[in-house]
Amino acid sequence: MSTEVVREELHHRQIDLRFYSRSDGLYEVEGRLIDTKTLPFKRQLSPVDTPAGAPIHNILVRLIVDETLLVHDAVAIMNATPFDTCTGAATTLAPLKGLRIGQGWNTRIREHLSGAASCTHILELLGPMATTAFQGLAPMRLALINDPANEQQRKAKVNSCFAYAAHREVVAQLWPHLHVPSPDKLP
């Protein structure tokens, strides 16, 4: 990065994602989005400026899931919004109950919550919340994938991302029988 250019921060978006184990055997994934400006800001329809540092958005979304990532409940809390009517979006998450976080999650949530059906920022949080839930349960999944009876899960993991490419060293070390030599290393 160049040190010759002077920068002035105008906007700060904080996204905080957390995963919790609950005493009832379920799990919670929580996402919070906070937007602030570093200068006073005149919002549409507001008679006064929003002071510098005051949240324009402060939105919390919580999903309650089980170990299979089935959504048991979904809650939104709209602590700060640019318009009073935005708080009504907190009631739009009922269609998420019964969905399972996994392949096709982002498509399904867009089908239910895109556009005027919900809040754009809630929708933005739900994608990274899904990967946070997935990471939260990673120790459980890793223990299962290494069970000799779960060959199908190991096969599904191969080529699921860069590191797990069939020709890379991760697969070669973990599951040599699933390793495929790189085309450039063939005789």
Residue 72 CA to residue 94 CA, distance in Å, equals: 10
Residue 15 CA to residue 73 CA, distance in Å, equals: 21
Is 5 among the domain residues? no
Question: pLDDT at residue 167 above 80?
Answer: yes
46 and 18 assigned to the same domain: yes
89 and 157 assigned to the same domain: no
29 and 58 assigned to the same domain: yes
77 and 167 assigned to the same domain: no
Digit-coded pLDDT (tens) for 24-45: 999 999 999 999 999 999 989 9
- Phi and psi at residue 33, to the nearest 5°: -120, 125
Tell me how many domains the chain contains.
Answer: 2
Q: Which residue, 9, 46, 15, is CA-closest to 125? A: 15
126 and 83 assigned to the same domain: yes
Percent over 90 (pLDDT), the chain: 82
Digit-coded pLDDT (tens) for 53-90: 999 999 999 999 999 999 999 999 999 999 999 999 99
Please say whether the beta carbons of 157 and 138 come within 8 A: no
Question: pLDDT at residue 184 above 90?
Answer: no
110 and 73 assigned to the same domain: yes
Q: What is the dihedral of CA 70, 18, 79, 124, to 10 degrees?
A: -60
Residue 181 CA to residue 158 CA, distance in Å, equals: 13
* Mean pLDDT (the chain, rounded): 94
| CATH number assigned to the domain comprising residue 75 | 3.30.390
Is 30 among the domain residues? yes
50 and 127 assigned to the same domain: yes
Is 3 among the domain residues? no
123 and 161 assigned to the same domain: no
85 and 175 assigned to the same domain: no
Residue 136 CA to residue 142 CA, distance in Å, equals: 11
119 and 33 assigned to the same domain: yes
Q: Which two tokens stand for residue 55?
A: 């949240």
DSSP 49: P
56 and 27 assigned to the same domain: yes
Q: Which domain, by its residues, includes 154? A: 149-185
47 and 75 assigned to the same domain: yes
Is 1 among the domain residues? no
